[in-house]
Amino acid sequence: MMTSITALLLAALAPAAGAQAAEAQGPSPAAAPDYADEANWLCLPGRADACAVDLTATVVEADGSTEEMAFEAAEDPAADCFYVYPTVSTDPTPNSDLSIDEAERRVAAAQAARFAEACRVYAPMYRQVTLSALRSIMTGQESGADGEMAYRDVADAFSHYLENENEGRPFVLIGHSQGTRMLTQLVANEIDGQPLQDRMLSAMLIGFNVGVPEGETVGGTFENVPLCEEASQTGCAISFVTFKSNAPPPASTRFGRSDDEALDVACVDPAALLGKDELDAYLGARTFTSAGRQPQPWVEGAEVDTDWVKVPGLLTAQCKSEDGAQYLSLDVNADPSDPRTDDIGGEVQVMGRVLPDWGLHLIDVNVVQGDLIELVRRQSDAYHGAAD
């Protein structure tokens, strides 16, 4: 059963409720963005911006040995990625402005920038529902947030991208949390069952509930876009919410339980699509938000100087459906006798207390980021192979 707080969150992001709230609180902040203006983009290909950052990672092996691994962007990728970021804005207003702040830069570096290994990355700014509004919602107050305005910005940015940047190329949609909420609407309104679906390699709709009938891969949220079942499949969706195996979704969970008895929450394991269970994670050496529980030191007797860490063999996962919840269940394959940490952190916490209803929401993308990037490569190869 969906909690009342979760229902309030969904209401804040839904177009009708958001429009009513905005009407009650006064005019929307600023005019609609002009996406011909590069200042309204968080990331654009070939530009020195939030996605042009040092992504060097330290590989920490189980025996305690470490090695730095440099990042290399693809020179001429054959696909595009259109990324919409989650709720991060620290603006005090119910909807954010379009100024690029440190919060947007951090999340772009954590979630989007590394996809340049496989695609050209486009990430618009949008007037999202802010953390301030979310706090109001969670305490039962009127937020004044306008979800319709946020969606309209994302739809306008995507339209500008298609008309001026895409040039008929295949594309991937990548979203997390509120970003996924925006892209889910976009797929339903502009792509599902329409000619544009043929060019969509996949919609990576992460960290927000997407509904499908039990045992089915299509239906529910989308009428024609199925869940991906193979690495080379295109025109499909990849969606999941992540919880540790020893901390599954509680009854009051925000994610992983559908409010529609006819639907399950979609779970597609990116690693399983690639024929494996070990996750190719890129974890922050420190969490990118103060709300995240910090990891323990990654290895005994050595310093990690990079912002990113890889831990081969430490993490595995599988989709589970139990006790009315559907989710990606993550195992930390701990070995207390080796020098590598067994504690990756990442849970949402308040005043030192972990909030179990959030699961591993903050690092949903990062625990499978390498796998998602590999799927972009496989889907792009399949698309261009079919076109030849």
What pLDDT, on the 0 to 100 scale, is given for residue 20? 33
What is the H or E stretch that residue 328 is in?
strand 325-332
- The answer to whether 220 and 263 have CB atoms below 8 angstroms apart is yes
Q: Three-state SS for 119?
A: coil
Q: 239 forms bridges with which residues in the sheet? A: 205
Q: What is the 3-state secondary structure (H, E, C) of 42-53?
A: EECCCCCCCCCC
The neighbour count for residue 167, using CB atoms within 10 Å, is 8
The two tokens of residue 136 are: 């109001």
Q: Is the pLDDT of residue 7 over 50?
A: no
Could you report the per-residue pLDDT of 262-313, keeping only the tens digit for each? 999 999 999 999 999 999 999 999 876 667 899 999 999 888 999 999 999 9
Q: Which of 197, 144, 138, 146 is nearest to 173 (CA)?
A: 197
∠ Cα 193 169 159 (to 5°) = 65
Q: Is the pLDDT of residue 332 over 50?
A: yes
How many angstroms from the chain centroid is the CA of residue 47?
A: 22
Q: How far are the Cα atoms of 16, 141, 177, 193 from residue 223, in angstroms, in the given order? A: 22, 35, 21, 7
How many angstroms from the chain centroid is the CA of residue 175?
A: 4
- The answer to whether 348 and 361 have CB atoms below 8 angstroms apart is yes
pLDDT category, 3, cuts 50, 70, 90?
very low
Q: Is the pLDDT of residue 21 over 80?
A: no
Q: 299 forms bridges with which residues in the sheet? A: 340
Could you report the per-residue pLDDT of 24-46, keeping only the tens digit for each? 343 345 689 999 999 999 999 99
Could you report the per-residue pLDDT of 339-354, keeping only the tens digit for each? 999 999 999 998 889 9
Q: Which of 95, 93, 99, 91 is nearest to 41 (CA)?
A: 99
pTM, 2 dp: 0.92
Report the C-alpha gap between 308 and 55 in whole angstroms: 7
